[in-house]
Structure 1
C-alpha cells in the first residue's frame, strides 16, 4: 500500500482520513473490516493535498494497536452539529461526554474512565488545554464550521503527545487545502433564538495554496437550572462566538512545503449559576508555522513553531471585569528514518508557558518544558500478520524529570479475526492552580508537586462477519493505575488557606470494557452500536465517582443513498444512573436517561448537489434530564435553609440550515 495516496480505516472506525496526492485511494487494514456507507462517504469526502508526518501519527497508531475514532466534515454537515462537543457527545463510541451548558460550553469528557484533565485537546497538533486549570476543557471555542475531521485517540499517548494525554487525545483538524477552487456558504437558525453563519473558500495557483474560513454562532440559550435564587431574573445561558482562520501553503518542491496558519476567535460566553450569570469575554489566537519534508525514499521530517494566546475578561454584572489567561509558545520537530523492516521516529518538543488569574489569584509564573522522544514501528516486511511498536519519552519541566514508555501491537489471527493491545505509562503535569494558587478562599498551591504518573493497559479482540450484511465488531478491556495523584490535603492547612495540594501515596485504579458493533442493515442503511462499562471508585469511599455512570451506550443509524439527493440519521445516547452526595439532602440519584437526535438533509437542486437544506432536532423527545445535582443556601432565609437544584441538559431544539457549495 502506498502511504502517500492512502486512507487508513481502523478496526474501530475510520482512523485518520489522510490524502496527499491528487488521487485518493481507499484502503482497509489487514483485517479487511468492511466499510459502512457512512464510513465510505466520510473518507471519500476528504480530497486534500499535502501530508505532514505529524498528520500521519493517528493513522499509524491505529494500525499498530491503538483505537482511533474519526468524525468527518461530511458527518458534521449531514447531522447539523454547530460545535465539536455535540459531535463527540453523540457519535464517538466509548466517549462519555456531557456539556455544562449546551453548545460552546465547557464539557465533562471521560475516555476509558478518565477525568477531563486526563485528555489532551489539540488543533492541528497544537495543544490548546488550559494549563491554569487542567480540568477546564477548551471546547467552548471550537465551531464545527472550521473542522475537516475530529480524531479521538483512546488510551495513554504520553510518548508522542506529552502531558495530559494520559487517557486519550482529541485532535481537531482544520479545513484543508484543495487543488481547485472550492467553497461553501451556510446560513442557519435554531429555536433558542440562535443564528449560525459560516463560509469557506480554498484554491491553489502554481506552488501557492490557501484556505480561508469564518463562522458566527449566536444564541440566547436555555434555562440551565430547574431552581434559582428568588431574585435571579436572567436565567438563560447564551453564547456569541466569532471565529475565523487562514492557512497558506507554499511548495518549494514536490517534497518540501511550508504552511502558515492563523486562527482567531472572539467569544462572549455566559456561565450562569443558580445565583446569577457570569460572563467570559474571550479572545483566542493561534499561530502555526510548519515546514514539511516528505520524499518517497530516505529520511523525512517536519519542524513546527506555534503561539497560543488565550485572554479572558471575567465578570458578574454589575461588578468590574478581571483577567485570566495564558500565553503558550512552542517548538517541535520530528524525523522519520525508514528501513525495510521498521520505521524509526525521533522527536523534540519545547514549550514555554505563562498564565495568570486575577479571579482565583494564581501568580503569574513561567514554565518551560523540554522533551525528547522516539518510537519504532514494524513494517509489512517484518510480518504479514503482526504490527508492533515501542517508544519512550524523556520530559524535563521545572526540575521535574519524567520518563514514560509505551508498546503496542496487532496480530491477525485469521483474515477476519484479530487481537490488539497496548501498555505504557503517561504523565500529567500539575496545573498552575495546584502549583501557584494563592487565593485565601481556596486550597494553596504547592510548587513541589510531582507529576501524576499512570500505567495503562488495553486489550481488544475483534473481527468481522461475512454475512449478507457485513458486520464488524470489537471488545476492549482497559485498566489504568495512577500514582502521585494530586489532591487537596485539609488536615493541616497553611495559615489563611483551606488546605494545600499534595501528592497522594498509593495507587488509584480505573477499569472497564467497551463493545462496538458496526454494520449495514439494508441498502444505504448503516449503524453503529456501542456499550461501555466503567468502574471508577473514589479512594476514600470505594463507591462510583459522582457523574460517572457505570453503564452508557450509543446507537447511530444512518440512511445515505449514493443515488438519491437526500439522507437522514438518528442518534441515541443512553446514560446510566449515577448519584451524588448533596449537602442538606444526602445521596441524590440522577442520570438514567436517553437522548435522541434526528437529522435530515436534502439537495434542493438534485443531482447538482450544490444547494442543500439541513434539519436537525436535538433531544427530539424533549427528555428532561440532569447532568449534575447540587444545593445552595436560600438567600434571605432565617434560619438558613438550603434548596436543591439540577443542572439541565439541552431541551428539544430545532436547527435549520440552508447552504450552497461550489
Structure 2
C-alpha cells in the first residue's frame, strides 16, 4: 500500500481538523507527516476532528523529550483540559477529570481495544502502560459514545503503540533515577515485500517513595514499589493494494504495591494481562471501504494483603497470595464507509462485546454480560462544501434487560484562514459495572441486575484561529456542558437489603466550564503553549464542587530546539487549583492548590547524526510537597482516626541514554 504524504500547517485552522496536536506542546510550524495507515479505525480520531470534535495528540517525541515513565504522567503534564492525579506516582491508580468529568466517564483504549475495568468503572486501567512503547496518544474530548460505546461520556483516550515503517529502524534505551528506579526499553521494525513487523519491549522497576503524609508504626511496608514489563508485536500483510490484514499482541506482567498508612506488611496486585486483535482493512478509493476487527482482553490479578497486628506485631493474613480478581473482555466490531453519490458519506457499524469478571476480594458473581450495538453516521464531503463539515449519527445498544439509543451531531466551519468554529453534541451512556450488577459480598451493597445505563447529554463548542498578522500564534476557546441522568448509587432504605442495594436515582450531575488554549512559535528555535480550564461540577441540588474535581487548572510548556545544534531543552508546568474530598471522620476537606514544574534537557552525543541521545529530566524541580488525594485510618492502639494525604512524586532526577539504529 502506498504511503500518503501530508504537508500541513500546525496552526489553528488545521490543528484540530487533520492531525491535531497537544495545545500545550505542539509546534506551530510547517511539518511533513508520513501517514502509512489508511484503516478507518486508525484514522477515526482525525476524521472526528475534521467534523468538529476536539482532539489532542501527544507524540512519541514529546514523551521522549519529557522523559515520562508512564502514560498517566505524560497526560498529566501535557494535555489541555485533562486533569490527572496519580495516587502514588508512576504506575498507580489515578483520579481523572476530563473537562470536569468523573473518572468513570472517560474510556481508555490501546490500539483501539477498550481496556476499561468493567468490574469497577471508577478504577482506572492505565497503571500498567509504560510511556516508552507509545507512538502517540489521542485524547478525544466531549461525548464519544457513537463509535466508542460505554464510558466515553466525557471523551476517550486511545494509546497507540509503536507503528509500522517501510524502512528498518529501531531504538534501545536505558536509564535510572535518583530514587533507585531503573528502566530499559526498545523496539525494532521493518518490512519485507508485503510483510511488515514491529516488536517492542519495556521494563520499569522501582522501590518507589513513601506515598503517605502520615504513617503509623504498624506499617512496615511504607514505600510504593512497582515492577512492570511489557512485550508486544505487530504484523501486517498487504494482501492486495487495498486489502490488508493486521495482527497485534501485547503481554504485560506487573507487581504493583497496594499499601496503606497503617498495619501493612505486604500488599500487592500481581498482574497478567493480554491484549490481542486481528483486523481486516479494505480501503479502495471507490464507493466502499471497511474494517472488521476481533479483539481479546484478558486481565488477571492475584492479590495479597498481609498485615501487622498493631498491638502484638504478629502477622495477620487478610488475603493470602493468589486471591483472584480479574475479567475477560472480547468482541467484534466493524465499520463500512459508503460513498454512493456526491455530497454525502454514510458509515454503518456493528459492535459486539462479551464481558465476564470475578472477584474473590469484594465478592462478585461471575456472570457474563453481552452488548450488541448498531451504528449509523451521515457526513458531508468536499462536494457538499470545502469549508463546512457536518456529521450526524445514531447508536442503538442492546444488553440483557435494557436498550439504549444515543445520538451525536458535530460540525466545523472554516470562516477564513484565521478563524474557525466547531462543535460536537449529543448523548452518551455508561453501563453499570459488574460490582453494581452482580455484587454478592455481604459486607457491601448488593448488585442489581435490573439497573439501567446512566445517560448523559453534552455539548462542546469552540472558536479559534490565528491572530491577524501573527501566523505563528494560534488560539482556541471552548465552552463545554454535560448532564448525567439515571445516576447509579447505593441505597439503604430497602429493608430487604440492610447492607444496601444499587439503584438508579433521579439525581443529576451537571458540569459547566470553559477551556482556553494558546500556542506560539517564538522565532526559529523556541515554541510555547499554555492552557487554562475552569469547571463547575455539581450534584443536583448542591452548590458544592464534586469531590476530587478541581475548579481550576492550567498547563504551560516551553521548548528550545535549534535545528543547527545537537541539544534541546524543555519546561512543563502543571498548576492545579483547590480540590475537595469528603473523608470519613473529618467531613469535607480541601487539598490541592499546587504547581509542579518539570525541566528537561537532551543532547545528541554524535552531533548531526543524532543516533546517540542523552536525556535528563528533573521531575518536580522545586521539590513541592503536594497532595493528590485524602484519606483517613485508625491511629494504632486507638479508636480515633487520623487524616492523611497521598503525596505527589518528590523531586527526582531521571537520566536516560538511547541509541537509534
Do the aligned residues in 2 keep the contact of 1:128 with 1:138 (CA within 8 Å)? yes
SS at 2:356's partner residue? Answer: strand
**Superposition RMSD in Å:** 2.2
The residue that corresponds to 1:602 in the other structure is 603
Give deviations 1:193-246, integer Å, cap 9, x for gaps. Answer: 111100100010011110000000001111000112221121100100010101
| Alignment partners' CA distance in 1, 2:274 and 2:391 | 36
How has the CA–CA distance of structure 1 residues 101 and 16 changed in structure 2, closer, same or farther, with 3 Å as cutoff?
farther
Shifted more, 314-323 versus 543-552: the winner is 314-323
Is 1:198 equivalent to 2:185 in the alignment? yes
Equivalent residue for 1:296, pick from 278, 285, 288: 285
The residue that corresponds to 1:658 in the other structure is 657
Deviation at 1:548, TM superposition (A): 1.3
| Alignment partners' CA distance in 2, 1:566 and 1:167 | 39
SS at 1:85's partner residue? Answer: helix
How has the CA–CA distance of structure 1 residues 619 and 144 changed in structure 2, closer, same or farther, with 3 Å as cutoff?
same
| Alignment partners' CA distance in 1, 2:500 and 2:430 | 21
| Alignment partners' CA distance in 1, 2:183 and 2:464 | 41
How has the CA–CA distance of structure 1 residues 493 and 185 changed in structure 2, closer, same or farther, with 3 Å as cutoff?
farther
The residue that corresponds to 1:163 in the other structure is 150
Is 1:378 equivalent to 2:365 in the alignment? no
Deviation at 1:409, TM superposition (A): 0.7
SS at 1:78's partner residue? Answer: helix
Equivalent residue for 1:459, pick from 438, 458, 461: 461
How has the CA–CA distance of structure 1 residues 414 and 181 changed in structure 2, closer, same or farther, with 3 Å as cutoff?
closer
Is 1:223 equivalent to 2:210 in the alignment? yes
SS at 1:139's partner residue? Answer: coil
| Alignment partners' CA distance in 1, 2:129 and 2:333 | 24
The residue that corresponds to 1:644 in the other structure is 643
Give deviations 1:412-438, integer Å, cap 9, x for gaps. Answer: 223211111121000000000000111
The residue that corresponds to 1:76 in the other structure is 63
The residue that corresponds to 2:314 in the other structure is none
The residue that corresponds to 1:23 in the other structure is none
The residue that corresponds to 2:621 in the other structure is 620
The residue that corresponds to 1:57 in the other structure is 44
Deviation at 1:490, TM superposition (A): 2.0
| Alignment partners' CA distance in 1, 2:280 and 2:163 | 16
Deviation at 1:568, TM superposition (A): 0.8
How has the CA–CA distance of structure 1 residues 353 and 580 changed in structure 2, closer, same or farther, with 3 Å as cutoff?
closer
Structure 1 segment 245-264 matched on structure 2, within 5 A: 245-264=232-251
How has the CA–CA distance of structure 1 residues 67 and 142 changed in structure 2, closer, same or farther, with 3 Å as cutoff?
same
The residue that corresponds to 2:636 in the other structure is 635
Give deviations 1:269-303, integer Å, cap 9, x for gaps. Answer: 01111122520000000111011111122211111
How has the CA–CA distance of structure 1 residues 144 and 421 changed in structure 2, closer, same or farther, with 3 Å as cutoff?
same
Do the aligned residues in 1 keep the contact of 2:258 with 2:267 (CA within 8 Å)? yes
Equivalent residue for 1:98, pick from 66, 80, 85: 85
| Alignment partners' CA distance in 2, 1:585 and 1:156 | 35
Do the aligned residues in 1 keep the contact of 2:13 with 2:465 (CA within 8 Å)? no
- Unaligned segments of structure 2, at least 5 residues: 307-316
The residue that corresponds to 2:271 in the other structure is 282
Deviation at 1:493, TM superposition (A): 5.2
The residue that corresponds to 2:443 in the other structure is 441
SS at 1:273's partner residue? Answer: coil
| Alignment partners' CA distance in 2, 1:523 and 1:75 | 18
Structure 1 segment 367-516 matched on structure 2, within 5 A: 367-468=369-470, 470-492=472-494, 494-495=496-497, 497-516=498-517
- Unaligned segments of structure 1, at least 5 residues: 19-27
Do the aligned residues in 2 keep the contact of 1:10 with 1:63 (CA within 8 Å)? no
| Alignment partners' CA distance in 1, 2:162 and 2:393 | 31
SS at 1:55's partner residue? Answer: coil
| Alignment partners' CA distance in 1, 2:390 and 2:232 | 38
Do the aligned residues in 2 keep the contact of 1:37 with 1:525 (CA within 8 Å)? no
SS at 1:422's partner residue? Answer: strand
| Alignment partners' CA distance in 2, 1:47 and 1:659 | 24
How has the CA–CA distance of structure 1 residues 53 and 607 changed in structure 2, closer, same or farther, with 3 Å as cutoff?
same
Deviation at 1:48, TM superposition (A): 5.5
How has the CA–CA distance of structure 1 residues 66 and 7 changed in structure 2, closer, same or farther, with 3 Å as cutoff?
farther
Q: Whose RCO is larger (CA < 8 A, sep 6+)?
A: 2
Do the aligned residues in 2 keep the contact of 1:7 with 1:16 (CA within 8 Å)? no
Do the aligned residues in 1 keep the contact of 2:170 with 2:189 (CA within 8 Å)? yes
| Alignment partners' CA distance in 2, 1:613 and 1:142 | 23
Do the aligned residues in 1 keep the contact of 2:52 with 2:424 (CA within 8 Å)? yes
SS at 1:505's partner residue? Answer: coil
Do the aligned residues in 1 keep the contact of 2:25 with 2:78 (CA within 8 Å)? no
Deviation at 1:127, TM superposition (A): 0.4
| Alignment partners' CA distance in 2, 1:52 and 1:438 | 43
How has the CA–CA distance of structure 1 residues 507 and 232 changed in structure 2, closer, same or farther, with 3 Å as cutoff?
closer
- TM-score computed with the length of structure 1 as normaliser: 0.94
How has the CA–CA distance of structure 1 residues 242 and 630 changed in structure 2, closer, same or farther, with 3 Å as cutoff?
same
Give deviations 1:71-94, integer Å, cap 9, x for gaps. Answer: 001111111111111110000001
Structure 1 segment 119-134 matched on structure 2, within 5 A: 119-134=106-121
Structure 1 segment 15-54 matched on structure 2, within 5 A: 38=27, 44=32, 47=34, 49-54=36-41
Deviation at 1:466, TM superposition (A): 3.8
Do the aligned residues in 1 keep the contact of 2:120 with 2:433 (CA within 8 Å)? yes
Is 1:137 equivalent to 2:124 in the alignment? yes
How has the CA–CA distance of structure 1 residues 487 and 210 changed in structure 2, closer, same or farther, with 3 Å as cutoff?
same
Do the aligned residues in 2 keep the contact of 1:36 with 1:520 (CA within 8 Å)? no
Do the aligned residues in 2 keep the contact of 1:110 with 1:116 (CA within 8 Å)? yes
Do the aligned residues in 1 keep the contact of 2:91 with 2:128 (CA within 8 Å)? yes
| Alignment partners' CA distance in 2, 1:166 and 1:194 | 36
Structure 1 segment 107-122 matched on structure 2, within 5 A: 107-122=94-109
How has the CA–CA distance of structure 1 residues 273 and 600 changed in structure 2, closer, same or farther, with 3 Å as cutoff?
same
Is 1:307 equivalent to 2:296 in the alignment? yes
| Alignment partners' CA distance in 2, 1:602 and 1:172 | 27
Deviation at 1:10, TM superposition (A): 7.9
Do the aligned residues in 2 keep the contact of 1:48 with 1:177 (CA within 8 Å)? no
| Alignment partners' CA distance in 2, 1:7 and 1:437 | 53
